[in-house]
Amino acid sequence: MTRAPLTPVEQEVYRFLLDFLSTRTFQPSVREIAKHCRIPSTKSVTDLLASLERKGYVERAPGRSRGVTLVGFGGGAGTIPVPVLRVEAGRADLPSDDHLTLDRRLVPSDDAFLVRASHEHAPRHGVRLGDLVLVHPSSRAKDGDVVAVRVANVVLVRTMRRRGLTLLLEAPGAGDDRELGPGDDYVVLGVLAGVIRAASPA
């Protein structure tokens, strides 16, 4: 599912967990987190870990000092696990199928996610059918932004413009612009932040 954005202190704790685990086979203790992040009490750290769990970034084993697991983390310094979401008609909150570990410098925010372009090419935006599209959900889409939009059970990558209650999605090629209104099954997932494509076989 899509993850809620992190507060600055939550982000500091989460990135410390990522960096710590990338060089060790175990997670830091609550006291180590408090010391590194200059958090005055272990209860505050426990509350922060509970918030990270509610938002879908970690899982915790009750009663264990080092019982935190990073959801989807595949290891590597300076990396972050990014959920790959599955598109389902009628759902604004998309379920997660898997995670892909990416260089943190390429990911615009900790709540970014990947979704597969499932309907058509968008060559003007560098998107081909079947590509994984990196979406920045925290960035409020503005007129003229290139966005990923779930329309029924497909994902479109289009330039977005608002016309009152109508959303105009301008096709990347000629024709096939779409107008969506209040009665249509769609949700703007976020702003296009990148594209990942599997290498073509030689």
45-90: per-residue pLDDT in tens? 999 999 999 999 999 887 777 788 888 887 777 889 999 998 877 7
**Per-residue model confidence (pLDDT) at position 39:** 94
**Per-residue model confidence (pLDDT) at position 4:** 87
Residues 84-138 have pLDDT tens digits of: 998 877 776 777 888 898 998 999 999 999 998 876 656 677 787 788 999 998 7
Cβ atoms of 73 and 21 within 8 Å: the answer is yes
Residue scoring higher pLDDT (147 or 117): 147
Evaluate if residue 175 carries a pLDDT over 70: no
Cβ atoms of 191 and 145 within 8 Å: the answer is yes
What b-and-e string marks burial along 150-175, b requiring 16 or more CB atoms within 10 Å of the CB? bbeeebbbbbbbeeeeebebebbeee
Q: Which domains does the chain have, with CATH numbers?
A: 8-70 (1.10.10.10), 79-196 (2.10.109.10)
Cβ atoms of 6 and 12 within 8 Å: the answer is no
**Per-residue model confidence (pLDDT) at position 47:** 94
Cβ atoms of 116 and 132 within 8 Å: the answer is yes
**Per-residue model confidence (pLDDT) at position 200:** 63
CA distance linking residue 15 with residue 26, whole number of Å: 15
Residues 153-164 have pLDDT tens digits of: 888 888 999 988
Sign of the alpha-carbon dihedral angle for 42, 48, 51, 57: negative
